[in-house]
Amino acid sequence: MTSIEGAPAEASGPPQLPRQLGTSGLVAHYVTSVMGAGVLLIPALAWAEAGPLSLVAWGVLILYSYPFALIFAKMSVLHPTSKGVAQFVEAAFGTRAGRVAAVFLLLTLLAGNPVLGLAAGRYLLSAVDPTASNRAALLAGAAVIVFCLALNLWGIRVSTRAQMVVLGAVVLLLVVVIGLALPKADYTRLTPFAPHGWGALGSTLLICFFGFIGWENAAPVAEEVRDPGHTFPKGILYAVSCVGLLYFAMAFTVSVALPEPAAGQSDITAFVRLLQVATGSSLQSSGFLVAGILLLLTTNAWCLGTSRVVFALARDGVLPAGLSKLSAQGTVPARAVLALLPGYAVSVVLLLITDSSESTLIKASSATYLLIFLMAFLSAARLLPRGGAARLNLALIATTVAILPFFGISLAIALAMLLLSVVAERWLRKRVTPPTETGVLI
């Protein structure tokens, strides 16, 4: 069909997102989806938990992350749609299972994603007012989330270009800080190697695990990746190498060079203290600013991925069809992006009412992410052809099942959310109208 000048032709069939993302954009999306708290905060928390033994936890999870990310990449090549993990489950176990997985995935993302924006707001506000109240920090975090949603309305090309430029500058700064801090290190801190006993390794793995949540966030943008079969393998190799090297370098630097916190100092000062060691001067505001910007990038990447999940679920009739409408240019699922506002607001408002920090969401939602990973790996066991990737996937299933019991109350919350997803899927199936064939706003 022809269209009026300046407007796209009305497409037949369900709305499709154009393939605009190349290898560099995919790498930027991968890295910013993962690297945030994992390089700024978690190394210090892991060191406090297990001392030098924490380096073993980092090594185990870095080795785990490559097959982890590789499986998601291979599944995204086989099923390059915005539904992500839900599409994998549907292909492996049927439509009903896929719909339940879709609802569970969406609930998890809406509940857990605000952690990143709220942490970014806390750092950015601390650069201006280190004594600001918790509620003020939460409001600053809410502003960060709104900013990222607004950036995503410009489209994936603009968003990822901004990500690449800022990410490159931040990574360069982190490398410089590590390089300046290591010559001032005290390597005697590496002994004794397990000051709190080898049993501390289990709890440290749980702490470090949160730093690796994000590899699955590339699956929802698979529909927008150019030549997925070529782009995903290259993108995942570059991204895992970058993140793994930077994570271990930062964890090692923290182990040998980070001074103990002074009385009254919070966890968020870890990077600031390392920056002071590296430069020999107090750069508290600058440290908070860098940390806030890095977490803002992560927030932006997660807003992008989650909006694509909303778009795909609306297109498939799990959510109201209106959320699958594209912008007039046919490139941005604007309604899906805006739908995240009320979704994220639930968690933020609850934290404001109870005057709780974003760490509450971390503890509550961590096991839900692990269940999502397990769903993806079980689906891959049925869908991947025999070979090395399939064997790696079986090892991932065994590892993930072994880790689950360590999550305690968070696992109970995750199972409750899964049950809620089953009920919600049945309710939505009866009430949501299937989408129409066209999906472009005129």
Per residue in 120-144, pLDDT (tens digit) is 999 899 888 888 899 999 999 999 9
Please state, in angstroms and rounded to a whole number, the distance separating the CA atoms of residues 387 and 22: 27
Q: What is the pLDDT of residue 1?
A: 38
User: What residue type is 379 in one-letter code?
Assistant: S
Strands (E), 260-375: none
Please indicate, yes or no, if residue 7 is contained in any of the structural domains: no
- The reported pTM is 0.77
**Where does the pLDDT of residue 437 fall: very low under 50, low under 70, confident under 90, or very high at 90 and above?**
very low
Please indicate, yes or no, if residue 167 is contained in any of the structural domains: yes
Say how many C-beta atoms besides its own lie within 10 A of residue 62's C-beta. 19
Enter the tokens of residue 268: 């968020």
Q: For residue range 392-406, list pLDDT tens digits in order.
A: 899 889 988 888 887
Check pLDDT > 50 for residue 284: yes
Place of tokens 């001392």: 51
Enter the tokens of residue 333: 């699922």
Q: What is the pLDDT of residue 163?
A: 76
Handedness of CA 22, 23, 24, 30 (dihedral sign): positive
Please indicate, yes or no, if residue 8 is contained in any of the structural domains: no
Please indicate, yes or no, if residue 74 is contained in any of the structural domains: yes
Please indicate, yes or no, if residue 219 is contained in any of the structural domains: yes
Please indicate, yes or no, if residue 56 is contained in any of the structural domains: yes
Q: What is the pLDDT of residue 328?
A: 66
Average pLDDT over residues 363-386: 87
What Rg value do the Cα atoms of the chain yield, rounded?
21
pLDDT, mean over the chain: 83
Average pLDDT over residues 111-118: 87
Please state, in angstroms and rounded to a whole number, the distance separating the CA atoms of residues 312 and 440: 14
Please indicate, yes or no, if residue 46 is contained in any of the structural domains: yes
**CATH code of the domain containing 245:** 1.20.1740.10
Please state, in angstroms and rounded to a whole number, the distance separating the CA atoms of residues 121 and 14: 38
Place of tokens 């702490």: 207
Range of the domain at 117: 23-431
Check pLDDT > 60 for residue 3: no
Domain count, the chain: 1
User: Among the listed ranges 41-55, 128-142, 189-203, 277-291, which one has the minimum average pLDDT value?
Assistant: 277-291
Q: What is the pLDDT of residue 441?
A: 41
User: Among the listed ranges 322-331, 363-372, 381-390, which one has the minimum average pLDDT value?
Assistant: 322-331
Please indicate, yes or no, if residue 124 is contained in any of the structural domains: yes
**3-class SS of residue 92:** helix
Strands (E), 232-374: none
Residue 440: beta bridge partners?
A: 326
Please state, in angstroms and rounded to a whole number, the distance separating the CA atoms of residues 120 and 297: 9
